Amino acid sequence: MIDDVEVRSSGLLPVGGGHEIYWEESGNPDGIPALYLHGGPGGGLGTGKYRNKLDPKRFRIIGLDQRGCGRSTPLATAAGYRLEDNTTSDLVADIERVRKHLHVAEWLLNGVSWGSTLALAYAQDHPERVLGVVLMAVTTTDRFQVDWITETVGAVYPEAWDRLATHAEQAGIGYRRHEGRLIEAYARLMTDADPEVRDATGRAWMDWEDHHISIGSGHVPPRTDWSDDLRVFATLVTHYWANDAFLNPPILQRMDRLHGIPATLIHGRRDVSGPAAFPWLLHRAWPGSELIIEESEGHGGELMVTAWRSANDRHADRIEAR
């Protein structure tokens, strides 16, 4: 276990349109550049535990809060915020601006959950900048995956899904279960002019989030907290998922762009919110990848984290031996 790694430098980078992206660096300034992309969308860097998944003696560790969340400004919930200016292509462009600002030629990409989709999108647009890819709780956020996580997996948590659908049905926007996409109803409600509507919808959404990733954690206690971070999270998740992550064509139809890039894909067999078929299909389409399935874990776990650290060490060995 690596002790907590301190941030060495940080800043806000203007990227246009009034947006500023928070970035931070830690580890060895002369080490292998490694970029961490957080989950969500809208999850933020949080307490920075990602930093101890990479050896600070070997890596120049870089993290950023994606557009509209965390310490980046403005937040997606700010008055007058234009969600149409927050898409995957915008996030990829922001990453490129951070890379140039920090004078990084190439870097090893790390991504978790939604961050794995963003890492793939970036790598497909800028393969010449990618030394390798390490992904955990792998997603590609295409229509099949979004429908799975918002509709199909309700078969595992029918009580929670019924609450999710009932909230949308009672919101007065014309939604009826199985007649329209539930995620589109939530995206609409999360941008309602009434803050009470947005908060009630966000709470309903977070109840669902807590359940569909809970395999292996036992009972899900009722959520009593509500914060600006959760408002941002619910706003951005529903925005991105309702639009299939703005990826057209989707990730799996652009895999030719990643040929020759080494990758490690780490996933839990018990991840019902993202079945192992998702990383398996990605692995099948990516000759340069290895797939690690942890049989006893879900959307994260200690064994998966151990595999994550080991994968970064193996990639460092490969990169240093070039």
DSSP class per residue in 104-143: -S-EEEEEETHHHHHHHHHHHH-GGGEEEEEEES-----H
Residues identified as active-site: 113, 271, 299
pLDDT digit string, tens, across residues 18-47: 999 999 999 999 999 999 999 999 999 999
Strands 19-27 and 7-16: antiparallel
Average pLDDT of 265-289? Answer: 95
Instruction: Give every CB contact of residue 172 below 8 A, 6+ residues apart in sequence.
Output: none
Distance CA(11)–CA(7), nearest Å, equals: 11
Question: Where residue 213 falls among pLDDT bands split at 50, 70, 90?
Answer: confident
| pLDDT score of 217 more than 60 | no
| pLDDT score of 216 more than 60 | no
Distance CA(292)–CA(266), nearest Å, equals: 5
Q: CA-CA distances (angstroms) from residue 292 to 63, 276, 281, 295, 307? A: 24, 10, 13, 9, 8
pLDDT digit string, tens, across residues 98-134: 999 999 999 999 999 999 999 999 999 999 999 999 9
Distance CA(227)–CA(266), nearest Å, equals: 31
Question: Where residue 222 falls among pLDDT bands split at 50, 70, 90?
Answer: low
